[in-house]
Amino acid sequence: MKSRVLALAVIVGLACCALALGAEAQPAPESPSLTVIGALVKIEKLESADGEEWSALSLRADRPVEGQVAVGDVLSLRCLRSKLKGIGLGDEVKATLGPAAEDGKRRVVEEITRLGRGEFLNPAEKATEDLGSPNAKVLVKMFAPLGIACHQTTVDLLKELAAEEPERLRVQFFDFHDREAVAEVNRERLSCATVLINNRYRFVIEKDGEKRHVAFTHRPNAEKSSYNSEDVPVVVRAEIKRIYGADESGKPDKPANPEETPSGETPAAGQPAE
């Protein structure tokens, strides 16, 4: 009986050792890949390695990934430049990221898709006219041939609003007749008259229970226009309220509550400047 007990103890001991050795032989689990939606707030070229060209990206998360990423987190990534064709600074993207590296290096972007223009502050160093505070959290950039009647109403409304909100709003105008303004048009990847509000120009205006899509591009105030001049300050006021919270001026709340649409496509290339 004692010999059987001893033999059983030896077998159990050997089995435990085998399990322990097997556990030690198992590789540490990799950090899983994850998919993040957010805006590209920084893009820089990296030195080429192994014959391939890479870029360093900073991606600000605009949607949470439970237990891993919170809204507002900025992720440091690296991506093959060949995957960034048609994608630029300020764009909203959907990025699938590889496992986190143990050495602390940037996570690699496995797949990346452009969703539209994201929310992003990207003021120009030089503008035809620059109004408001450089520290404002709401930035409007209007690109147009200034002085033309169809755009003058929009210009006048934005100047009135800039005077009302000198600290919370910055407005930059870019005249297509100005060489430096044209350079900014190219930097923003635009090709026609456009009003950008924190980098976006597509919004939904809701009033009296009805929603209306607007796109601040081309000529306003015409039968087939995608917006009227009066729509611009409505959206700007709503953005000021959304970003800064309750109206600090004590004025009554404004009537509309615009929402950004998922896509913010840029105007089609080759369209004439209006």
**How many domains does the chain contain in total?**
2
Please state, in angstroms and rounded to a whole number, the distance separating the CA atoms of residues 84 and 94.
Answer: 12
Q: Decide which of 64, 94, 117 is a domain's last residue.
A: 117
Q: What CATH number does the domain containing 187 carry?
A: 3.40.30.10
Pairing of strands 107-117, 74-80: parallel
Domain region containing 45: 34-117
Do 199 and 122 touch, CB atoms closer than 8 A? yes
- The whole-number average pLDDT for the span 219-246 is 94
- Residues 142, 237 within the same domain: yes
The reply to whether 15 falls in a domain is no
- What pLDDT was estimated at residue 102? 66
User: Residue 68, SS3?
Assistant: coil
pLDDT of residue 259: 40
Specify whether 146 is located in the same domain as 221. yes
Residue 14 lies in a domain: no
**Residue 18, burial from CB neighbour count under 10 angstroms (0-12, 13-18, 19+):** exposed
Per-residue tokens: 54: 């890479």
106 with 149, same domain: the answer is: no
Between residues 258 and 93, which one has the greater pLDDT?
Answer: 93
Residue 66 is part of a domain; what is its CATH number? 2.40.50.140
The domain boundary, picked from 117, 145, 170, lies at: 117
User: Could you read off the pLDDT of 80-120 as tens digits, one per residue?
Assistant: 999 999 999 999 999 999 987 766 678 999 999 999 999 99
- Regarding whether 145 and 77 lie in a shared domain, the answer is no
User: How many CA atoms, within 13 angstroms, populate the side-chain half-sphere of residue 255?
Assistant: 8
- Per the domain annotation, does 239 fall within a domain? yes
pLDDT, mean of residues 109-133: 96
The order of strands in the sheet holding 259-260 is 210-215, 202-207, 259-260
Residue 253 in contact with residue 173, Cβ under 8 Å?
no
Kindly report the pTM of this predicted structure: 0.77
Strand partners, 215: 202
Q: How far apart are CA 39 and CA 118, in angstroms?
A: 5
Residues 79 and 169 in one domain: no
Q: Which residues contact 61 (CB under 8 A, 6 or more apart)?
A: 36, 37, 38, 69, 70, 71, 72, 73, 74, 75
Mean pLDDT of the residues in the chain: 83
Domain match, 71 and 152 both: no
Q: Is residue 124 part of a domain?
A: no
Q: pLDDT tens digits for 149-172?
A: 999 999 999 999 999 999 999 999
- Give domain status of residue 22, yes or no: no
Residues 202 and 236 in one domain: yes
What separation in angstroms does the CA of 267 have from each of 14, 217, 234?
72, 7, 22
